[in-house]
Chains A and B, each alone.
Chain A
Amino acid sequence: MTQSFQVRYYAQLREALQVSTEELSLDLPTSERAILDRLAEMHPKQRELFFASRVAVEEAYVDADALLSKLADGIDIISPISGG
């Protein structure tokens, strides 16, 4: 089943892409790897940044091997963080 959902960007990734959100359509269930691969394909110049990023669903980082199917609320792409 293909589903569309919102992808949210922050900080360096938002600036590099010049958008804070975009729509993505993927077959579900999917995975962090598949999402980042797809986004890197759509934005090849930011490939390295996507591959250094983590995916969060419902405000929690997803596990690398998790099968993701509840993406209706969208996902956050957490590019390399620098808090503290």
Chain B
Amino acid sequence: MITPLIPSAATAWLTNAPLDIRALRNEVADPAAGAILVFEGTVRDHSPGHTAVIALEYEAQASMAQRVLEAALEYALEVFPICKAAVRHRLGRVELGEATIAIAVSAAHRNEAYQASRYIIDRIKHDAPIWKREICQDGTTGWSLGCRAHTSGAPAGPEVKKPKTESGRMGTGF
């Protein structure tokens, strides 16, 4: 369910379908934009403790994850001088090399686009209730350790503070 061209500054969806990167890029195109930045997270063939990863399988508390995606875009639009932003996150099985997440941001200048994109991915990795299981060539599977930034009692909630320039204690990334 890739989006049609919606006259909105931000759209965020979870989807079981392969991501249409070109459509996402077109969605944020804007006459005021001098930069369009598209970030893709992809399935890689290894992770800490696992070699020969052939696919990832995602599950989510979908309605809450949807809220986090939307909140990430809303905050980015509020804080950074960008034109538009859009994000898609896969659910279900995603094969090696395929995109698991795509973030498109348009802005008058590149710096804001990079900052906003970085904020959005960090916020999602930090807060979205989404889990991935690694599926290895030998048939073994394991839940990704992912983002262990939180222990119970850590400050939580949707009001993530001003974006950081370094991910610091975020997960290992892509």
Contacts and interface: CB of A to CB of B under 8 A. Distances in A.
A17 to B, nearest CB: 13
A54 B131 CA distance: 14
A64 interface: yes
A9 to B, nearest CB: 10
Chain A, interface size category, equals: 20 to 34
A83 B152 contact: no
A60 B60 CA distance: 14
Given A51-B151, A52-B148, A81 B156 contact: no
Interface of A: 8, 10-12, 15, 32-33, 36, 50-56, 59-64, 76, 78-84
A55 to B, nearest CB: 7
Most buried by A among B61, B128, B147, B171: B61
B172 to A, nearest CB: 10
Interface of B: 41, 58-61, 63-65, 67, 89, 100-101, 121, 124-125, 127-133, 143-148, 150-158, 171, 173-174
A64 B64 contact: no
B152 A53 contact: yes
A78 B129 contact: yes
A83 B126 CA distance: 8
B59 A10 contact: yes
Contacts of A32: 152-153
A84 B157 contact: no
A64 B155 contact: yes
Contacts of A51: 151-152
Question: Can you list the 8 inter-chain pairs with the closest CB atoms, starting with the nearest?
Answer: A82-B146, A83-B130, A11-B131, A61-B156, A82-B144, A12-B143, A59-B64, A84-B125
Contact of A82 (B67, B145, B153): B145
Contacts of A10: 59-61, 129, 131
Most buried by B among A8, A10, A32, A59: A59
Given A10-B131, A61-B158, A83 B60 contact: yes
A81 B146 contact: yes
A28 B126 CA distance: 29
Contacts of A8: 61
A12 to B, nearest CB: 4
